[in-house]
Amino acid sequence: MRKELKYILLLLLCLNVHTVFAQYGQINRAKPLSTRDTLRTEKKVSDDQLLDSLRKKEDNKKDSVVFSAKFIRVTMERFLSDSTQTFALDTGLYNFENYSPLMDPRNPRISLGYTGLSQRSLLFEPSKTIGFDAGQHALDVYALRPQDIKYYNARVAYSNLTLFNGFGSSAEQVFKIIHTQNIKPNWNVGFNLNFNGSRGFYSYSNVLQQNVSDVNAALFTWYQSKSKRYNLLANVIYNNLKSPETGAILNDSVFTSSGNTLFYKNSSAVRLPNSYENWTDKSLYIKQFYYLGRIDSLNKGNANSKILPTQRVAHTFLVQNNTYNYLQTNQPDTYNVFPDYYYSNNRSRDSLVVTHIQNEFSYSFYLRSKSVKFVKNELKLDLGLIHDLYHYAQYVSDTTLNQYGYQYIHQNKVQNNTFQDITLKAKLSYRFSDRIGLEGDLRQIVQGRDFGDYYYGAKLTLAGGAKAGKIILEAYSQNSTPPLIYTNWVSNHYIFHNSFDNQKTTSASFNYVNNPLQLDIKAEYFLIANYLYFTAQPGGIDAHPAQLSNDINLLKISIGKNLSYHSLHFDNYVVYQKTDYQSTLRTPEVYTYSNLYFNKTFFGVLKSNFGVSVRYNSPYVAPSYAVGIAQFYNGPNITFSSYPVASVYFKATLQRTNLFLMYDYANQGIQSKGYYTVNRYPQQDRLLKFGVSWTFYN
């Protein structure tokens, strides 16, 4: 029976994978490093047997070992910030069906309809960054970033192929590849390659400009010296994201008309058939750090061992080139998508090119007792200096006359600027014991274009016993320069020249976490001064940046609680947020996610979950979307009805293969014909989806 199931999985993969290569890639959204639901069905052998088997393999002798996730350790840069530690590879089913960044249960998002299109967070999620910001973030979740890369210690070659597809539909199709292996015991290399060729639900699938075409590629390496003192992390990343900008379908009453609304959705007319965003990102990232003085080891000899330095010096080098293109080809704005045009009425080729070179130097000092079994009175001090060099140029397609009197199209450079920022940063932490810890974080730009930007934060952790849980108290104050698109922007349809004050955010939060009870509660308060946003005249489409003169108060309370009874599980997450400027900060007051599922093992090998998940948010005034600048703005005051969105799924694991079958938005037609999260842009229809993740150890 086990062999028959494997053949069925192989057949399904072959039937679906060919459609993905019609277009390109989905981001490799970083999964949690949690080992929850990690499943191992391989034969258990002792460590001595494993070692003997590896030796036999190296000698080209007969090998009897069963390779498994036990041979692979994984980490990320943020886990190497103050020690060297790795984690077990997560091969489980947890959250496997929520493959799209738009479906993250605890970070819900609004979008233009499906994976690959412009999006933003449904709830209030402030950015904690300071310094230069171009202001273009609508496609960020689909890109790979240097900090997203996972690094491995792979005693055997590890590969993973993942496919997500819609049965009988090309509305969503995602394919991802990971391969990594150690070329030496202390040196690992690997690559990520991801494609997204989704075509959506309401567009001409044969019109190339209406299809998503994303590619993410990354080469990465992790080298650790034999003495464990020196570490090198490096990656080269290329992102090419193409997102349709159709201006929405013409039929604004597709879900609300009382008449017959049946039509061929893949041939529905749109306002801009030949219009799209094309963003590219190329980067080289190198981080080196060296441990000075005494080195301590925790859990030495075990898989979960940690290398704890007493002093550390580090250098980070980043060179990055980002290009943000908007293209509209040979079509007049018949349906008034744009408020105006300044260069051409039927063609746009707007481009912003940003080059960023960063050097960061840091020194860390750790003061602790020689016995590291019991963490007590441990002091850590991190000091850093960051130098950022930026150059940006903006271009607009224009027509002019040549020397013979003929018109020709050329790219006109309308902005060109080079500047630098120097940032000082410091982080101080003190642990009185393993139950009480205090941290302080300081970042201040002391010279350059963004002089005066700062971020000051503090965190206190109070932990009780194993059953009592822990309390985390946090507070921060932030002062940040307005993004470029708010102050100086020149394009075919939008020109902004503004002088805004820095936006200031002050926040305090209380967080209670109890793992045995599977409970976490968080209350956050935000005070926002000089809030920046995009708006339009009442009922208009003239999206433009604005700044609120009054302070905004916002309270956000989130509760997560998981229940279980034998094989039955019920996971829940609820968010309530309230602000005194709901008309400006357009988000729902309530968001909920519930997931009810049942564990079952078939034939002794097929570990599976049957479940139904439901998402819901209360009605809110939906934002509009400005084509050409990729910004969500406060447009017409339109509030859509809100109904739960339910998905029924089955997911399972068989040896090294995970799979799921899901009927997404299964309740369409029961309570509503469909739903919106953004004005004019209908969301996905019900769709039967299939996903498979195949892991290989060689």
Q: What is the largest CA-CA distance in the chain?
A: 84
Measured distance CA(539)–CA(198) in Å, rounded: 32
The Cα 445–Cα 439 span in angstroms is 21
Instruction: Please state, as a whole number, how many other Cβ atoms lie within 10 Å of the Cβ of residue 406.
Output: 8
- In the block, tokens 């990520």 appear at 192
- In the prediction, which pLDDT does 408 show? 63
Q: In the block, which residue shows the tokens 């690997």?
A: 190
List Cα–Cα distances, 641 to 259, 579, 617, in angstroms: 19, 21, 10
**What is the per-residue DSSP string for 71-126?**
GEEEEEGGGGSSSEE-EE---S-TTTT--SGGG-TTS-EEESSSTTS-EEESS---
Decide: helix, strand or coil at residue 498.
coil
SS3 sequence of 498-513:
CCCCCEEEEEEEEEEE
Q: Where are the beta strands (DSSP E) in 128-229?
A: 150-154, 158-166, 169-184, 187-196, 213-224
**Under 8 Å between Cβ of 221 and 231:** no
pLDDT value of position 38: 38
Asked if 630 and 642 count as a contact pair (C-beta separation under 8 A), the reply is no
Dihedral of CA atoms 595, 598, 599, 604 in degrees, nearest 10, equals -140
Mean pLDDT of the chain: 87
Q: Which of 111, 127, 101, 107 is nearest to 623 (CA)?
A: 111
Question: In whole angstroms, how far apart are CA 468 and each of 2, 472, 514, 525, 565?
Answer: 44, 13, 7, 25, 21
Name which of 596, 654, 630 is nearest 244 in CA terms: 630
Burial of 232 (0-12, 13-18, 19+ CB in 10 A): middle
3-state helix, strand, coil in the chain (%, to 5): 10, 55, 40
Contact present, 662 and 648 (Cβ < 8 Å):
yes
295 closest CA partner among 232, 224, 384: 224
Quickly count: other Cβ atoms within 10 Å of residue 248's Cβ: 23
What is the DSSP secondary-structure string of 2-33? HHHHHHHHHHHHHHHHHHHTTS-----PPPP-
Token couple for 299: 């859990």
The predicted structure's pLDDT at residue 432:
83
Q: Are 26 and 116 in contact (CB under 8 A)?
A: yes
Paired sense of beta strands 503-514 and 519-529, if any: antiparallel
The position carrying tokens 């859509």 is: 640
Say what the alpha-carbon torsion angle 183, 185, 187, 190 is, to the nearest 10 degrees.
50
DSSP strand pairing (436-448 vs 454-463): antiparallel
pLDDT at 258: 52
The pLDDT value given to residue 22: 42
Contacts of 591 (CB under 8 A, 6+ apart): 108, 122, 123, 574, 575, 615, 616, 617, 618
Q: Give the Cα separation of 65 and 47 in Å (integer).
A: 11
Residues 460, 437: Cα–Cα separation, whole Å? 6
Contact in structure between 630 and 277 (CB atoms under 8 Å): yes
Question: Can you give the pLDDT at residue 312?
Answer: 95
Q: Is 450 helix (H, G, I), strand (E, B) or coil?
A: coil
Q: 2-134+144-697 adopts what CATH topology?
A: Maltoporin; Chain A (2.40.170)
Q: Over the stretch 171-191, which tens digit does the pLDDT of each residue have?
A: 889 999 999 999 999 999 999
Nearby residues of 19 by Cβ (< 8 Å), 6 or more positions away: 165, 170, 173, 197
DSSP 521-548: EEEEEEEEES-EEEE-STT----EEEE-
Rounded-to-integer distance, Cα 148 and Cα 143, Å: 9
Question: Tokens at residue 60, please?
Answer: 């080209």
Placement of tokens 């842009």 in the chain: 681
User: Rounded to whole angstroms, how far apart are CA atoms 492 and 272?
Assistant: 15
What pTM value is reported for the model? 0.87
What residue ranges of the chain have pLDDT lower than 50?
1, 4-12, 14-44, 47-48, 51, 55, 61-62, 259-262
Distances in Å between the Cα of 104 and the Cα atoms of 31, 74, 229, 677 are 11, 22, 38, 16
Distance CA 595, CA 537 (A): 41
- Going from the C-alpha of 51 to that of each of 46, 232, 321, 652, the distances in angstroms are 9, 27, 45, 31
DSSP 3-state of 209: helix
Query: The tokens of 614 are what?
Result: 């439901």
Whether residue 454 contacts residue 443, with contact meaning beta carbons closer than 8 Å, is answered with: yes
